[in-house]
Structure 1
Amino acid sequence: MVGGRGGLVLVAADGDVSFSAGQELFEAMLAGWRRQQQARRLSGPLIEGRERIVRRFVAFTGCLPWQWSSAQAESWLASGGWAHSTIRAYQGALVVFLGYVCDPRYGWVGECEQRVGAVPAQVIGEHNSSPHAAAYEGRPGRRPLSRAELQAFFDAADDLVERAGCSRRKGQLAAFRDATLFKVIYAWGLRRREAAMLDVNDFAVNPAVPELGSRGVCHVRYGKAMKGSPPRRRAVATVMPWAAEALEQYVREVRPRYGADEHPALWLTERGARISVRQVDDRFGQLRNLAGLPADLSVHCLRHSYISHLIEDGADPLFVQSIYGPWKGVRDVHHGSKKRVNPSGGSGYLLPSITQILRRFDARTAGADARLVA
């Protein structure tokens, strides 16, 4: 049975709406807060992340919200050794949660006073919060890759494909997929999730550059969303023809060997599922280490490299601004059935003719085509 006032709702097994213990009251608060955020159309990962932060603070203090103090919050935030942006995220989660439970429209203050004889109050304020004064609060080591570093990274990825082919061991499909995946992330300036969520049909013809075939433009459907909004869409024109060639080889020769023709995803796992963002991170880390690059570099650094190298290659400033302007989103830019194949009986090996990458990355010649960014 469900009942309550505003956010004050509890489902009891015996059908009675009651708060028998402080923990039960706390769980009801979290449930109401979750519904409120869902009503605001906030994303599931954001809601879950905030709730984890609140639970971590409860575990640290051993106290429930109506027992919290500013001193406890300060002690917790000072104990972790976290990055500046992480501390701000933790502070923000506590502020939003306590803002909800202290809001008289939801009735939690009165319920706490009646049930436990105490009321919650804000424990984070201007006196003990970290201000958001800088536009960027990431690690200084997160930067664009130099062309030499980019060469080393893609050499490591391509060499792994060729070694797997020569040794006839499993992992050739995944190695080829990863080498192409990171070339696509760099050449179209994508974020991790944007790349992981690509489908085969998300690439299309650009009438102004017919020589690129069906790889003339990339339609991104899972761009970074504004708060409370669905993922933003955008179209990214192809400006690095070498990457279009690499992608075409992967789609034509490698992807069919996963035996999952019915799956729309561009990047598949060996079990025929879509690759996850976590897997993208893990594979980047492995290749970065093979290339001997600094550990601070992340997948997102490839996106920064894309922007930096466009500028170095003499791209029109207005073109670059449309890609990485104030809204940090690419606007629409226009210049413009197979049989199921079981990969070698399920072993995941590539045909000998596919173990050679037709288009290896060459930093000396792999910049943006000046005709496409003018």
Structure 2
Amino acid sequence: MTRDGTVPGAAGLHLVGGTALLRPQEQVAEAMLEGWRNQQLARNLALSTIEGRLNAVKAFTRHADAFPWDWAPQMVDEWLGDLRAVHHLKQSTLRNYAEAVRSFCAFLTDPAYGWAAECEKRFGTHPIQVCHEWNTAHHLQESEADPSKRAFTRAELQAFFDYADDQVHRVRGAGRKGWLPAFRDAALFKTAYAYGLRRRETRMLDLADFGPNPHAREFGAYGVCYVRWGKAMKGSPPKRRSVLTVGPREGIGGMDWIVDVLAQWIEEARPACAHAGSPALWPSERGPRIGFSQMNTRFASYRDAIGLDKGLDLHSFRRSYVTHLIEDGWDPRFVQEQVGHEHASTTSLYTCVSSDFRTRTLRKAMDATMRAALDTGRTKR
């Protein structure tokens, strides 16, 4: 709230009272959007979130061909119907668009901001809420991810990493300059899997984001990965967490091989990069940090080259990390902490255990039941 008692986004802060406007309708509509933007900034929402919402409202305004004080629910019906039937947008995207319009209308109709009174005074009408339960999609399921998205099988993961390594040897053997980016990408993909990282978390890693684990000194300087750009809660900064390097246990292989991968990249290959002076772990050929498009393009090219399922994407490394740790017998709570999930139910959504794991679990349970029955029989005799 400002010193004069007005709230961020209020009409009084964006329209000077008593001043004649040359283009009143256009100027008031623009002031409404600017006020809404300020209100969301005051709520500490991410700039990318605010920008996406503003773009959605502008798109609806263009489709409706009307100003906010003239909007009606039927316009929302037509807009969302067009986006679904003609443009084939996903339901989750449609719901986000509708939520942006609903939030904007809630802002305009809130008496605290004064926009309804301002419109009534200038245009003889006022904005209303046009998004309701009966004309927008509901969020009914805990997870609405594309069903084609899944984890790698272990064989697929090995094939992917082998192909990535082959590209480094092929390019370097041919005497071409592209071996460093190929080396970087191979190490990047392996790091994303070995620590169960999201795409942004992987991209934003710096050299300083690795350190020793005093309880596992065998991993040297790579015992812990400090994630500083974790997924944020609404209105909060990026969530930090530390991810421990997972070693072998009780005859089960771990992911300690990532220590050699990181050491080779950081100590041997990375110093030859053009932007080696950057703090970023993954510098690009033209800038201090690799971009999302580079990561996506290289991943897709490798996946398609070896004929893997289109449902595999960069996030599949994270799904695979959770799945494989659970299959190997790691405690679900430990896995939850490693990947930074607030709720165990979220971790369970990532778990795509293989049929082989289920078969072994079933066999183990049946064997235990059979042994108990035999022991009981011996006791009775």
Both proteins in one fold, TM over 0.5? yes
Q: Secondary structure at the match of 1:222?
A: strand
Aligned to 2:377: none
Stretch deviating more after TM superposition (148-157 or 226-235): 148-157
Distance 1:130 1:51 in 2: 20
Residue 138 (structure 1) aligns with: 145
1:10 is matched with which residue: 7, 10, 14? 14
Structure 1 residue 5: Cα displacement: 6.0
Q: Counterpart of 2:48 in structure 1: which amino acid? A: P
In 1, Cα distance between equivalents of 2:55 and 2:180: 37
The farther-off stretch of 73-82 and 223-232 is 73-82
Opposite residue 95 of structure 1, the aligned amino acid is: R
What one-letter code is carried by the residue in structure 2 that aligns with 1:152? Answer: A
Name the SS for the 2:136 alignment partner. Answer: coil
Partner residue of 2:310?
295
Paired-residue identity, %: 46
Q: Identify the structure with the greater helix proportion.
A: 2
Task: Call closer, same or farther: CA 1:4–1:29 in 2, change over 3 Å.
Answer: farther
Counterpart AA for 2:102: V
- Separation in 2, partners of 1:168, 1:328: 50
- What's the offset of the Cα at 1:262? 3.1
Question: Does 2:289 correspond to 1:274?
Answer: yes
Q: Counterpart of 2:146 in 1: which secondary structure?
A: coil
Residue 295 (structure 1) shift? 2.1
Shift of 1:170: 2.9
Aligned partners of 1:296 and 1:23: how far apart in 2? 45
1:189 aligns with 2:204: no
Query: Does the 8 A contact of 1:199 with 1:264 survive in 2?
Result: yes
Residues 307-342 of structure 1: CA deviation (Å, up to 9, x unaligned) = 00001112123322333575169xxxxxxxxxxxxx
**Unaligned 5+ residue runs, structure 2?**
247-254, 345-381
Distance in 1, Cα, partners of 2:15 & 2:316: 47
**In 1, distance between residues paired with 2:339 and 2:187?**
23
In structure 2, how many angstroms separate the alpha carbons of the residues matched to 1:210 and 1:175?
30
Determine which of 64, 68, 71 is the counterpart of 1:65. 68
Query: Given the alignment of the two structures, is residue 32 of structure 1 paired with residue 47 of structure 2, yes or no?
Result: no
Paired with 1:48 and 1:328, the residues of 2 have a C-alpha distance of: 29
Larger Rg: 2
| Alignment counterpart, residue 210 of structure 1, candidates 195, 211, 217 | 217
1:1-374, aligned counterparts within 5 Å? 6=7, 7-8=10-11, 9-10=13-14, 18=21, 20-80=23-83, 81-239=88-246, 240-324=255-339, 327=342
RMSD of aligned residue pairs (Cα, Å): 2.2
Instruction: Report if aligned partners of 1:41, 1:229 keep a CA contact under 8 Å in 2.
Output: yes
CA distance in 2, matches of 1:201, 1:66: 52
Say if 2:206 and 2:279, in contact at 8 Å, map to a contact too: yes
Give distance in 1, aligned partners of 2:180 and 2:259.
Answer: 19
SS of 2:14's equivalent? Answer: strand
On the 8 A contact 1:11/1:17 being kept in 2, the answer is no
Structure 2 CA distance for partners of 1:274 and 1:288, relative to 1, 3 Å: same
- Cα separation, 2, equivalents of 1:110 and 1:181: 55
Which digits, 9 at most, give the CA deviation of each residue in 1:11-58, with x for residues without a partner? Answer: 79xxx6747332211111111111111111110000001011111111
Whether contact under 8 Å (1:146, 1:305) holds in the other structure is: yes
Does the 8 A contact of 2:275 with 2:285 survive in 1?
A: no
User: C-alpha separation between the residues in 2 aligned to 1:304 and 1:137?
Assistant: 15
Structure 2 CA distance for aligned equivalents of residues 238 and 126 of structure 1: 47
1:112–1:118 CA contact under 8 A, matched in 2: yes
Deviation at residue 118 of structure 1 after TM alignment: 2.2
Structure 1 unmatched ranges of 5 or more: 330-374
Distance 2:154 2:188 in 1: 18
Give, in whole Å, the separation in 2 of the partners of 1:325 and 1:4: 40
Given residue 304 of structure 1, which amino acid in structure 2 is its aligned partner?
R
TM-score normalized by the length of structure 2: 0.80
Summarize the Cα distance change of 1:125–1:148 in structure 2 as closer, same or farther, 3 Å threshold. Answer: same
